[in-house]
Amino acid sequence: MAEVRPLIRDELLPPEPPPRRHLISIADLTRDDVERLLALARTFAKSLEREVKKLPALRGRTVVNLFYESSTRTSSSFELAAKRLSADVMSIKATGSSVDKGESLKDTALTIGCYDPDVVVIRHPEIGAPNLVAQLTGAHVVNAGDGKHQHPTQALLDLYTIEDELGGIAGLHVAIVGDVLHSRVARSNVQALLLMGAKVTLVGPPPLIPRGIEAMGCEVSYDIDTIRGADVVYVLRMQKERMLAGANYVPSLREYTARWGVTPERIRPGQKVMHPGPMNRGVEIDGCVADMADALIERQVRSGLVVRMAVLYDLLTHGPVEVKVAEIEEVA
Partner 1 sequence: MLAGKQGHEDVVVRGARIVDPTGDVDAVLDVRIDGGVVAAIGEKIDGNEHRVVDAEGLVLAPAFVDPHVHLRTPGREDEEDIRSGTAAAAAGGYCAILAMPNTDPVLDSAAVVGSLVERARDEAEVPLAFLAAITKGQAGEELTEMVELAEAGAAGFTDDGQPVRAASLMRRALQYGIAAGRPIAVHCEEPTLSRGGHMHEGAVSAELGFGGYPAVAESVMVARDLALAQYEDRPVHVLHLSARESVEELRAAQADGSTATGEVTPHHLCLTDEAVRSLDANVKMNPPLRAEADRKALVAALRDGTLAAVATDHAPHARHEKEVPFEAAPFGVTGLETAFAALYTRLVKPGLLGLSTLLERMSAGPARIYGLERPRIAVGAPANLVLLDLEATWTPAEAGFRSKSANSWLLGERLQGRVKLTMAAGRTAYEG
Catalytic residue IDs:
73-74, 101, 123, 151
Q: Binding of partner 1 at residue 131 (CB under 8 A)?
A: yes
- Shortest reach from residue 253's CB to partner 1, in Å: 20
Which strands, in side-by-side order, build the sheet including 232-235? Answer: 219-221, 199-203, 173-177, 232-235, 272-274
By C-alpha distance, which of 296, 47, 332, 292 is closest to 160? 296
- The residue among 20 and 268 lying less far from partner 1, judged by its C-beta, is 20
Does residue 244 touch partner 1 according to CB under 8 A? yes
**Only segment of 48-56, 94-102, 121-129, 262-270 that touches partner 1 (CB under 8 A):** 121-129
215 binds partner 1 (CB under 8 A): yes
Among 56, 104, 168, 329, indicate the residue that binds partner 1 (CB under 8 A): 104
The distance from CA 143 to its chain's CA centroid, rounded to whole angstroms, is 8
- Residue 210 interacts with partner 1 (CB under 8 A): yes or no: yes
Q: Give buried/exposed letters for 200-223 (b at 16+ CB in 10 A, else e).
A: bbbbbbeebbbeebeeeebebbee
Contact 122, 113 (CB under 8 A): no
- How far is residue 94 from each of residues 66, 100, 139, 182, 201, measured CA to CA in Å? 8, 7, 19, 22, 36
146 binds partner 1 (CB under 8 A): yes
Determine if 105 is a binding residue for partner 1 (CB under 8 A): yes
Q: Which is nearer to partner 1, 140 or 187 (CB)?
A: 187
Closer to partner 1 at the Cβ: 25 or 271?
25
According to DSSP, residue 271 is labeled -
What is the edge-to-edge ordering of all strands in the sheet holding 140-146?
88-93, 62-67, 119-124, 140-146
213 binds partner 1 (CB under 8 A): yes
Interface with partner 1 (CB under 8 A), residue total 35
Q: Among positive and negative, which fits the CA dihedral 223, 225, 231, 237?
A: positive
d(CA 56, CA 79): 15
Nearest Cα residue to 22 out of 151, 119, 113, 94: 119
Is residue 127 within the footprint of partner 1 (CB under 8 A)?
Answer: yes
Asked if 293 interacts with partner 1 (CB under 8 A), we say: no
Contact 173, 198 (CB under 8 A): yes
Asked if 106 touches partner 1 (CB under 8 A), the answer is yes
- Closer to partner 1 at the Cβ: 145 or 261? 145
132 scored as a contact of partner 1 (CB under 8 A): yes
> Does 147 contact partner 1 by CB under 8 A?
yes
In the complex, least distance from residue 1 CB atom to partner 1, rounded to whole angstroms: 6
| Residue 164, C-beta contacts closer than 8 angstroms, at least 6 positions apart | 299, 303
Q: Between 6 and 45, how does the x/- string for binding to partner 1 read (CB under 8 A)?
A: xx-x-xx---------------------------------
| Phi/psi of residue 108, nearest 5 degrees | -65, -45
Q: Is 211 in the site for partner 1 (CB under 8 A)?
A: yes
CB of 129 to partner 1, least distance (A): 4
Q: Which stretch binds partner 1 (CB under 8 A): 29-37, 127-135, 166-174, 291-299?
A: 127-135
Comparing CB distances to partner 1, the nearer of 72 and 104 is: 104
Nearest-angstrom CA–CA distance, 63 and 227? 40
Binding site for partner 1 (CB under 8 A): 1-2, 4-7, 9, 11-12, 104-106, 124, 126-129, 131-132, 146-150, 184, 187, 210-216, 244, 247
